[in-house]
Chain A
Amino acid sequence: MNASPEAVKGSHRSGGATLFALSARSVTKRFPGVLANDDVDFDLAAGEVHTLLGENGAGKSTLASVLCGLYRPDQGAVLRNGTQVRLSSPRHGLQHGIAMVHQHFRLVDRFSVAENVVLGDKRLSFFIDQDSINDRVSRIAEEFGLPIDPLAVVGELSAGQRQRVEIIKALYQGAEILLLDEPTALLAPPEVEKLFETVRTMAKAGKSVVFVSHKLGEVVDISDRITVMRDGKVTGSVGRGEADTRKLAELMVGREIDLSPRKAKAPAGGTMLKLHNVSLHRDGVAVVDNVSLEVRAGEIVGVAGVSGNGQRDLAELVAGLQSPTGGVITVDGREMNGAGTREMRANGLAYVPEDRLGTGLSPSLSIIDNMVLTRPRGLLVDRKAAGAEAERYITELEIKTPSPHTATRKLSGGNSQKVLLAREIFAQSDTTKVLVVCSPTRGLDVGAVETVHKVLDEARTKGKAVLLISEDLDEVLTLADKILVLYRGAVVHSADSNALDIEKVGLAMAGIS
């Protein structure tokens, strides 16, 4: 083990003499069968927002856990203000002012916010002065822009609110360095914006923040510095202003990534999918409200909107999983009202739902068995044909799996999405005319995002009519030839992609027109 700070390697940042608030020197951490961190160097300056960027499994959480004292490195050292510290536990880390907010929250549901915040605080005497604690919690909340009711029961809070409790707790415990592990994973876009404000406020107050993320799009603005990891190693580190998403993507994936816009290269053909004043009322509320739209062969129509504005119901109406309470749905010239999902499919419609593992795929069943899920099957299931097909797509789409007999739940998000796309888009490509695709890249690594974009673009080129429903505006802007905005179940804005006013789209998404 490297013992003294003098003996360890220098920082990758030039300038030499800077004293960093927290550093990792040649940190190596092994888990059975994986080298999670391989000779990692990392430097965090005081008052800095430093992003740790990398695909799933790159080793970010492991590094953060080493830095906060949860894991002890197999080799290498952790330095606090230039002096080596041997952190034996997160509590010990806290004594050095280091706190981590984990990907999975560690709060007691039955306790109030204030009780959770002071839980484990040894400074408190046996009798707790409830009022002064509530006061302190409120003060921290106010100072850092973390609005929360100290008396609320944690079990009743949203993910975003729980995260605030975790951050308040860290600050209450006197953290100078906060490690936030994938803090945006569970947040809606407005909550993300709020979190970023908090992060900026903390940095201004002299605290240092390590911001862990695998989302390339969100990190550039917030970060003073971005360090990229891949396969347990640091592949690069860039300061503010030097960051460019293309370069970062390449560092993350290890090859050049093309996420540039893809648009139709040929004029669209005849109308394949048509919705005319389609509505769905549930419990007296119009969850889909008078929607009319058309998708022609060879084009992608994108439906943007903040999550929870009727996207899922709209998709299920088109896919035949729900019946509209009003209006007409036409597929390839045939009125399909009241048709079930099997009839819809028989008429050339394929559907990629947002929830890929719990809806689009049967998680415990093999890739082979999942290939036949939405096919007509005879009395016996033809696994021979399905097996050959599975093998073909595993090669073609580079699906990483031990074998076609592997259960889909054992695959990573990107690979299970590829299985789903293979079945819905490729396997029946001669009979499919309309594709309904929902949030196809949610939670995926950049490399997989690129594949998905390529697949959808190819489907368009082959003359499919694609309805892309996504909460990710960037994705819609990248792929769609026509853009609609869904707000409270209604289409509140529509535009061609070449005559687009992004500001208007943003306002429409927020319900302002």
Chain B
Amino acid sequence: MIVGGYRIELEPRLKSPRWLVYVVPVVSLLFAFVVAGIFLLGTGHNPFTTYGKLIDKGYTSYYGITDTLGLATPLICTGLAAAFAFRMNLFNIGEEGQMYLGMIGAAWAGIVLADNLPGVAAVPVVMLSGAAFGALWVLVPAVLRARLGTSEIVSTLLLNYVALNLVNFLIFGSRTLWRDPSPFPDGQLVADSARLDRFGTTNVYPTLLIAAILAVFLWLFMRFSNYGYETSVFADSPNTARYAGMSASRLTVSVLLSSGALAGLAGSMYVVGPAGKVDPGLLQVGLGYAGIVVAALARYNFVAVILTAVLFAGLRVGGAALQISSDPVPIAIATVIQGAVLLFALGGEMFRKNRLRVRRIAGSPVRGAA
């Protein structure tokens, strides 16, 4: 780009200094708030008081942070799901649908199986059932990708719409075991033994611990296990993986199925936690798609997903609270902030890898003959 006699260029950094890894996200976040602040000013709100309220309702007040942690719980799982696939350069965009299937699978086990199981086994079985349904939902895209090279981006995305309609059908369009027999369309509650108690009067469930432990476990597992090693070789250079005798299709299918299982687990956390049923209300929340954003913000690091999920959930919770405060701010503002955070985080990534150089153009610009 040329501006008034200066040439502005991005050039790759030979080495990214270590501190940039920490500074860039913080600066990106600040920029995002500045941009959203301009929107706030434009709509007649004081950005500082609005942000103050947002932070209070999202993070610092007792019920704010507990609501945030509750919402972050399934979001950690969908974030892990997206990160897991992406580490092998696979783009699972279907967390949303896999999460619905997880909900359906968990509810099925909770309704049909739980009463026949010993008490301690009920919750684990219900959650595993949800994970299995989530994994099955990605089986076809995974096999198509492994055998025919069909883009998993398109196939997993398309299945989201199928899953959405499936939930609508189960609850609104038919009479199945998932639907409560009462005339009002709603999901049938699972057995009591299949549900966990929340902590006190908060919206936090023990599933939060499960999600956090899972994140740390995945981080350790992918770092030190042979499976993690093989996926990183494959992601880096498929030819090298083939040379070393690794099976590309086995790795592709297993990674996508694991990713689907993690997203399914997110759905089952709703069932054993707050919802206790197939809850059509979940369809509005978009936690599957948000998981992709959370994973990208975490730069596909499993442990960082915990932090970005909490950050993201807080924006949601705080944003929703602003709507019903004394000086109501449209929910769109919270969405603007979320979008701005993502954009600047990705933009910041560019500055971590490149640096800006401004040069005086000496004499007349040399027209590129070559």
**Residues of chain A having any CB pair with chain B under 8 Å:** 32, 88-91, 106, 119-121, 320-321, 340-342, 345, 351, 353, 355, 358-365, 369, 372-374, 377-381
Interface of chain B residues 350 through 370 with chain A (CB within 8 A): 363, 366-370
Query: Could you jot down 20 A-B contacts, CB within 8 Å?
Result: A32-B14, A119-B370, A120-B369, A121-B369, A341-B245, A345-B245, A358-B237, A359-B239, A359-B243, A360-B243, A362-B233, A363-B236, A363-B237, A363-B240, A364-B236, A364-B237, A374-B245, A379-B225, A379-B226, A380-B226
Residues of the B chain whose Cβ atoms lie less than 8 Å from the Cβ of A372: 229
A126 to chain B, nearest CB (A): 16
- Whether the pair A378, B233 counts as a contact (CB closer than 8 A) is no
Known A-B contacts A119-B369, A362-B233, A365-B232; the reply to A378 vs B226 at CB < 8 A is yes
- Docked complex Cα distance between A362 and B366 (Å): 41
Which residue of chain A has its CB nearest to the CB of B363?
A88
- Docked complex Cα distance between A373 and B240 (Å): 9
Q: 1/0 contact trace for B317-338 toward A, CB 8 Å?
A: 0000000000000000000000
- Docked complex Cα distance between A381 and B221 (Å): 10
19 additional A-B residue pairs with CB within 8 Å, beyond A321-B242, A377-B229 = A90-B370, A91-B369, A119-B369, A120-B367, A120-B368, A320-B245, A355-B239, A358-B237, A358-B239, A359-B239, A362-B236, A363-B237, A363-B240, A365-B232, A369-B232, A373-B244, A374-B243, A374-B245, A380-B226
- Docked complex Cα distance between A201 and B59 (Å): 78
Residues of the B chain whose Cβ atoms lie less than 8 Å from the Cβ of A369: 229, 232
- Docked complex Cα distance between A334 and B245 (Å): 20
Known A-B contacts A340-B245, A345-B245, A381-B226; the reply to A362 vs B370 at CB < 8 A is no
Known A-B contacts A90-B370, A365-B233, A373-B233; the reply to A341 vs B225 at CB < 8 A is no
B106 to chain A, nearest CB (A): 29
Q: Does B224 contact A (CB under 8 A)?
A: yes
Residues of the A chain whose Cβ atoms lie less than 8 Å from the Cβ of B245: 320, 340-342, 345, 374
- Docked complex Cα distance between A41 and B367 (Å): 31
Q: 1/0 contact trace for B6-29 toward A, CB 8 Å?
A: 000000001000000000000000
- Whether the pair A89, B237 counts as a contact (CB closer than 8 A) is no
- Docked complex Cα distance between A90 and B369 (Å): 10
Q: 1/0 contact trace for B207-241 toward A, CB 8 Å?
A: 00000000000000000111011001100110111
Residues of the A chain whose Cβ atoms lie less than 8 Å from the Cβ of B363: 88
- Docked complex Cα distance between A359 and B370 (Å): 34
- Docked complex Cα distance between A106 and B233 (Å): 34
Task: Classify the interface of chain A: helix, strand, loop or mixed.
Answer: loop
Residues of the B chain whose Cβ atoms lie less than 8 Å from the Cβ of A321: 242-243
Residues of the B chain whose Cβ atoms lie less than 8 Å from the Cβ of A90: 370
- Whether the pair B240, A120 counts as a contact (CB closer than 8 A) is no
- Docked complex Cα distance between A121 and B242 (Å): 49
- Whether the pair B236, A380 counts as a contact (CB closer than 8 A) is no
B127 to chain A, nearest CB (A): 24
Interface hub of A88, A372, A381 (most chain B Cβ within 10 A): A381
- Docked complex Cα distance between A89 and B239 (Å): 42
Q: Indicate which residue in B224, B368, B369 contacts A381 across the interface (CB closer than 8 Å).
A: B224
- Whether the pair B229, A381 counts as a contact (CB closer than 8 A) is yes
Residues of the A chain whose Cβ atoms lie less than 8 Å from the Cβ of B225: 379-381
- Docked complex Cα distance between A359 and B245 (Å): 11
Which residue of chain B has its CB nearest to the CB of A100?
B370
Known A-B contacts A342-B245, A369-B229, A378-B226; the reply to A120 vs B370 at CB < 8 A is yes
B244 to chain A, nearest CB (A): 5
- Whether the pair B240, A360 counts as a contact (CB closer than 8 A) is yes
Known A-B contacts A89-B366, A90-B370, A362-B236; the reply to A374 vs B244 at CB < 8 A is yes
Q: Indicate which residue in B14, B228, B237, B368 contacts A362 across the interface (CB closer than 8 Å).
A: B237
Residues of the B chain whose Cβ atoms lie less than 8 Å from the Cβ of A341: 243-245
- Docked complex Cα distance between A450 and B277 (Å): 71
Residues of the A chain whose Cβ atoms lie less than 8 Å from the Cβ of B368: 120
Which residue of chain B has its CB nearest to the CB of A70?
B370
Which residue of chain B has its CB nearest to the CB of A383?
B224
B340 to chain A, nearest CB (A): 31
Residues of the B chain whose Cβ atoms lie less than 8 Å from the Cβ of A121: 369
- Docked complex Cα distance between A355 and B237 (Å): 12
- Whether the pair B232, A106 counts as a contact (CB closer than 8 A) is no
B153 to chain A, nearest CB (A): 23
A359 to chain B, nearest CB (A): 5
Residues of the A chain whose Cβ atoms lie less than 8 Å from the Cβ of B240: 358-363, 373
A235 to chain B, nearest CB (A): 28
Residues of the A chain whose Cβ atoms lie less than 8 Å from the Cβ of B228: 381
- Docked complex Cα distance between A380 and B228 (Å): 9
- Docked complex Cα distance between A355 and B243 (Å): 11
- Docked complex Cα distance between A198 and B266 (Å): 69
Residues of the A chain whose Cβ atoms lie less than 8 Å from the Cβ of B237: 358-359, 362-364
Residues of the A chain whose Cβ atoms lie less than 8 Å from the Cβ of B241: 362
- Whether the pair A106, B224 counts as a contact (CB closer than 8 A) is no
- Whether the pair B366, A365 counts as a contact (CB closer than 8 A) is no
Residues of the A chain whose Cβ atoms lie less than 8 Å from the Cβ of B229: 369, 372, 377, 381
- Docked complex Cα distance between A281 and B193 (Å): 62
A112 to chain B, nearest CB (A): 16
- Docked complex Cα distance between A121 and B91 (Å): 48
A397 to chain B, nearest CB (A): 21
Which residue of chain A has its CB nearest to the CB of B247?
A340
Known A-B contacts A321-B243, A373-B244; the reply to A106 vs B236 at CB < 8 A is no
